[in-house]
Amino acid sequence: MDTPPDQLQRLCAGEEAAWGELHRDHYPRLWSSVQRILNNPTLADDVVQEAFIKAHRDIRRFAGQSQLGTWLYRIAINQALDAVRKKQRTDRWLSFLSPIAEHENQPTMPEGHVGPVASLGLENADLRETIFAAMTELSPEHRAVVQLRLIDEISLEETARLLHCKPGTVNSRLHYACEHLRRKLGKVKKNP
């Protein structure tokens, strides 16, 4: 669907009616595509809304080299793929934090950029509460690493800079903190 030149001007000017028209014209197609990627209607709603927010924020950078709908579509698909990657990181961390039997091999810690603990999607409020209660038992240095790496999603290098320590120290503290959380979760699982 072509975007009339005056609509782009109205969008750049922040005209609410123009944004409403854009939303009405493109939301169904974007939602349908994102939903096929995510297979989660609620998350698809969130991702498409985030795409419109990003488009609103970046509309002045739209160069016009493609149709506005194509640009929006690209933003929405990228947001969906980011959501998938975030879920994969979260799933890896959940598997690492999950209590394991003594005889099982320990899972290896995921490396690189990690997903937030705060948005793990834990449906069980008691489990979430147990995780955060266990975090209060950690030293401030260990809590800082968990906050920066897992909750705020700060890179390993940036975390090391912020905490004035080496990346290896950050990894060591994160490993200790995750082990502590795993032990606490193991006790909860044994004592339902």
pLDDT at 120: 43
Local confidence pLDDT in tens for the 192 residues of the chain? 455 668 788 888 888 998 999 999 999 989 988 888 888 899 999 999 999 999 999 998 887 777 888 889 889 988 988 888 787 776 666 665 655 444 454 444 444 434 444 444 444 566 667 777 788 888 878 888 887 787 767 788 888 888 889 999 999 999 998 888 888 777 765 655
Domain 101-190 in CATH 1.10.10.10? The answer is yes
Q: How many CB atoms lie within 10 A of CB 177?
A: 25
Q: What is the pTM of this model?
A: 0.52
Is the Cβ–Cβ distance between 145 and 177 less than 8 Å?
Answer: yes
Residue 26 CA neighbour count, 13 Å, CB half: 26
Q: Alpha-carbon distance 177 to 2, whole Å?
A: 53
Domain 5-88 in CATH 1.10.1740.10? The answer is yes
Provide the residue ranges of all domains of the chain, joining segments of one domain with +. Answer: 5-88, 101-190
